[in-house]
């Protein structure tokens, strides 16, 4: 795969501090306002050797990162909701400063010289900040680095010469010179990349993917920076598709162990003791036999999603088979209630040869044995923390773990050497909220709640199929036939009716229908309303559309083709992202389908939601355009250049 050696340094503004409803902001100043250019475009430190420096040797980002200033240990916390980075003194539990960053900060990385890199996923930038002489001062802006859409995770090489940044929606890994933060090279990746770590010898970068049952291993030494896919799918001895189910069926020759797809791989960590391992928390998913009609989403006999921690050999890049194999007992529905089905962050504790995984949905941090070949089966202990844990870091000196819970906007400090001690929760200052924010907050918690039988009998949450409000890239067996999971974020407005067969007039009624399919006992009316508020307001990816140059001209040509009578695309997909509100027979009925007609789906963000059609039959947009010719629009008469233009336009929606 060819690397792209282009990139543009940008500037990021830092807005003035504000007073919050939840308590006065700590003292601190920051220059500029959102959108304003800062005084200098240079990314190097203006005051070298001043202020806090990186704590320990942690070279991977998280929503919380640690730094030290003399004997003082501070945590930098990325607060996406309020658009700030909090500075917290871990010894006193006091919030020292708040830095406005002019965007939604996702993760934080402290460089060797103390600079604080913050990924702003909604601005497609990494903000570069500098600490002051005291931690009570807000971080000062140095520069901003423009990146492909939605930069999220960062990691430095062992020699601290290069910083890598993943771009989720932009599907890229960008290498930056660690001194000036100039782009060295860029590598295209598969869908939804998230965490990144660099091998101990600096020869490979490993990248997790939220969907696709894969990890990417990027060659850092070769000129082309080739990408190798590591398969993280697993097997389940309790499933066979040969007619008999479970271990008895296998023993009697009823089939072989069924493959499960890996999903929810948001986090990655490197082992210290034993060395040479990578840990990738995920879930293993069985969407059911899509050629059969089922009673719900999946086959209903086994839990559709089971927790897993893939263990990968750093040297060979191969997963340990044991970590990806499920036994006949692992998928029992009743066992899934306490499993980590939404892992979001991980940190390693070398002193205890452990890993700590932050589990969204359970509001817990679980400690697993890092020396085990199957860590999921080697749980040591767990702690309850604030709602929505999305970041965790280990302070080796203070023997504590620091957890950021986004939904509660609180930090939990866990004592790692005191067995019975409960975490200490530190509530941070917040910006003012209104009543609608309360409905949104409740809906967000419900959307991510795992193990609640009111939602799903097998412990799934809404976020299990819609990570980050998007889609799991899977096609599920249902009573009506195979159904590809649709993206939700940014796609619900004025696109009813809902469901592939268009049976629900409102989002609320479709939610009720969905809970029935999940065999959930049902939610209260106000809870369904809160869920509807949340799914209607989820943050969508930021897409920057070129308007000038050759690419701008190509997109304009594609738009004209889309809206033309000869292609007839806009006859159903009105206005690009809107729909005609009707169902159509486009000759796509699959074996298990009970209906001929399917609802017109929104095309918003269609470029990042492969595979396509109700049954996921088309792997790429190009396959969709060519394969559906004459059944859904007309492109057979177009030249290859015009099909390219049409595809380019679709990717901008």
Average pLDDT over residues 422-435: 88
pLDDT 10s digits, 215-245: 999 999 999 999 999 999 999 988 876 543 4
Give the Cα separation of 550 and 6 in Å (integer): 16
Question: Do the beta carbons of residue 497 and residue 547 sit within 8 Å?
Answer: no
Which residue from 569, 506, 550 is spatially nearest to 532, judged by alpha carbons?
A: 506
Asked if 187 and 3 count as a contact pair (C-beta separation under 8 A), the reply is: yes
Residue 437 has what pLDDT? 87
Residues 532 and 569 in one domain: no
Which strands make up the sheet holding 354-359, listed edge to edge? Answer: 343-349, 354-359, 364-369, 379-384
On whether both 557 and 523 belong to a single domain, the answer is no
Measure the CA–CA gap between 519 and 563, rounded to whole angstroms: 42
For residue 47, being part of any structural domain is answered with no
pLDDT confidence band for 336 (50 / 70 / 90): low
| In a shared domain, residues 516 and 576 | no
**CB-CB contact of 278 with 355 (8 Å):** no
Q: Is the pLDDT of residue 554 over 60?
A: yes
- The verdict on 597 and 558 lying in the same domain is yes
| pLDDT classification of 17: cutoffs 50, 70, 90 | very low
- The CB density around residue 27, as the number of other CB atoms within 10 Å, is 12
Asked if residue 531 and residue 621 are part of one domain, the reply reads no
- Residue 637 within a domain: yes
Q: What is the pLDDT of residues 284-313, one digit of tens each?
A: 999 999 999 888 898 878 899 999 999 999
Q: Could you tell me which residue, 427 or 280, shows the higher pLDDT?
A: 280
CA distance 363 to 159: 35
pLDDT, tens digit, for every residue of 443-470?
Answer: 999 999 999 999 998 999 999 999 999 9
Question: Stretch 45-68: mean pLDDT, rounded?
Answer: 95
Please identify, among 537, 572, 595, the residue that sits at the C-terminal boundary of a domain: 537
**Which two structure tokens, joined as six digits, stand for 468?**
């980050």
Same domain, 636 and 562: yes
Find the CATH number of the domain harbouring 454: 1.10.760.10
- pLDDT reported for residue 515: 87
| Domain assignment present for 462 | yes
For residue 611, is it within any domain? Answer: yes
Q: What domain range is 445 assigned to? A: 437-537
- 558 and 527 within one domain: no
Q: Which of 537, 558, 578 is at the close of a domain?
A: 537
> Do 575 and 516 share a domain, yes or no?
no
Q: What percentage of the chain exceeds 90 in pLDDT?
A: 71
Strands 234-236 and 325-326: parallel
Model-level pTM? 0.90
- The pLDDT score that the predictor gives to residue 2 is 32
Q: How far apart (Å, rounded) are the C-alpha atoms in residues 280 and 97?
A: 33
Long-range contacts, 596-600 (Cβ 8 Å, 24+) = 597/501, 598/500, 598/501, 598/502, 599/497, 599/498, 599/499, 599/500, 599/501, 599/502, 600/572, 600/573
Choosing from 537, 569, 596, the residue where a domain stops is 537
pLDDT at 329: 85
- Return the SS3 of 166: strand
Residue ranges with strand state E in 252-372: 258-263, 269-270, 277-285, 305-313, 325-326, 343-349, 354-359, 364-369
Strand partners, 381: 367
- Whether residue 431 lies inside any domain: the answer is no
Residue 35 lies in a domain: no
553 and 646 fall within a common domain: yes
Which residues are within 8 A (CB) of 222 and not within 5 positions of it... i.e. 6 or more apart? none
Residue 618 lies in a domain: yes
Give the model's confidence band at 576: pLDDT under 50 very low, under 70 low, under 90 confident, else very high: low
Q: Band the pLDDT of 337: cuts 50, 70, 90.
A: low
Number of domains in the chain: 2
Residue 483 falls within a domain, yes or no? Answer: yes
Give the whole-angstrom CA distance, residue 558 versus residue 645: 4
Among positive and negative, which fits the CA dihedral 614, 617, 621, 625?
A: negative
Query: What single DSSP character describes residue 618?
Result: B
What is the pLDDT, as a whole number, of residue 493? 78
């Amino acid at each position: 795969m060819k690397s792209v050696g282009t990139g543009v340094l940008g500037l990021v503004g830092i807005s003035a501090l504000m007073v919050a409803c939840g308590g006065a902001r700590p003292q601190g100043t920051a220059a500029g306002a959102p959108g304003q250019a800062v005084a200098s475009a240079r990314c190097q430190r203006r005051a070298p050797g001043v202020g806090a420096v990186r704590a320990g040797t942690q070279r991977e980002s998280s929503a919380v990162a640690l730094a030290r200033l003399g004997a003082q240990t501070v945590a930098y916390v990325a607060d996406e909701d309020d658009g700030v980075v909090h500075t917290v003194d871990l010894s006193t539990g006091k919030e020292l400063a708040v830095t406005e960053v002019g965007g939604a900060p996702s993760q934080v990385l402290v460089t060797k010289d103390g600079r604080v890199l913050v990924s702003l996923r909604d601005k497609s930038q990494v903000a570069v900040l500098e600490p002051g002489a005291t931690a009570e001062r807000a971080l000062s802006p140095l520069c901003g680095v423009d990146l492909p859409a939605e930069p999220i995770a960062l990691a430095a090489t062992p020699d601290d010469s290069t910083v890598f940044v993943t771009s989720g929606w932009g599907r890229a890994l960008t290498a930056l010179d660690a001194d000036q933060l100039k782009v060295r090279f860029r590598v295209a990746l598969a869908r939804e990349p998230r965490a990144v770590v660099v091998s101990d010898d600096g020869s490979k970068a490993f990248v997790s993917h939220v969907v696709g049952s894969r990890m990417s291993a990027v060659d850092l030494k070769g000129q082309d920076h080739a990408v190798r896919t590591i398969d993280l799918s697993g097997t389940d001895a309790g499933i066979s598709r040969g007619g008999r189910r479970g271990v008895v069926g296998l023993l009697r020759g009823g089939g072989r162990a069924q493959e499960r797809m890996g999903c929810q791989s948001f986090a990655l960590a490197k082992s210290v003791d034993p060395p040479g391992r990578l840990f990738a928390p995920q879930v293993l998913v069985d969407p059911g036999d899509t050629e059969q009609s089922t009673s719900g989403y999946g086959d209903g006999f086994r839990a559709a999603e089971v927790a897993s921690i893939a263990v990968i050999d750093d040297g060979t890049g191969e997963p340990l088979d044991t970590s990806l194999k499920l036994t006949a007992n692992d998928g029992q529905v009743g066992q899934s209630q306490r499993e980590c089905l939404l892992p979001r962050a991980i940190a390693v504790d070398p002193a205890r040869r452990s890993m700590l995984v932050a589990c969204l949905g359970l509001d817990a941090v679980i400690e697993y044995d890092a020396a085990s070949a199957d860590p999921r089966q080697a749980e040591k202990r767990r702690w309850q923390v604030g709602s929505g844990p999305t970041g965790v870091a280990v302070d080796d000196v203070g023997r504590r773990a620091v957890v950021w819970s986004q939904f509660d906007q609180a930090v939990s400090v866990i004592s790692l050497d005191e067995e019975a001690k409960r975490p200490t929760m530190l509530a941070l200052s917040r910006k003012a909220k209104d009543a609608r924010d309360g409905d949104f907050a409740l809906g967000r918690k419900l959307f991510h709640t795992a193990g609640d039988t009111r939602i799903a009998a097998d412990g799934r949450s809404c976020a299990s199929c819609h990570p980050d409000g998007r889609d799991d890239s899977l096609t599920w067996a249902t009573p009506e036939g195979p159904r590809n999971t649709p993206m939700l974020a940014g796609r619900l407005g004025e696109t009813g009716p809902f469901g592939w067969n268009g049976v629900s007039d409102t989002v609320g009624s479709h939610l009720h229908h969905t809970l029935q399919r999940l065999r959930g006992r049902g939610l209260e009316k106000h809870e369904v309303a809160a869920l509807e508020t949340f799914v209607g307001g989820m943050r969508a990816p930021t897409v920057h559309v070129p308007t000038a140059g050759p690419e701008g001209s190509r997109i304009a040509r594609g738009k004209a083709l889309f809206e033309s009578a000869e292609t007839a695309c806009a006859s159903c997909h009105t206005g690009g992202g809107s729909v005609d509100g009707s169902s159509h027979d486009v000759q796509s009925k699959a074996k298990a389908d009970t209906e001929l007609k399917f609802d017109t789906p929104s095309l918003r963000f269609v470029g990042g939601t492969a595979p396509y059609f109700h049954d996921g039959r088309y792997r790429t947009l190009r396959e969709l355009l060519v394969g559906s010719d004459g059944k859904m629009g007309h492109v057979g008469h177009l030249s290859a250049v015009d099909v390219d233009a049409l595809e380019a336009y679709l990717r901008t929606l």
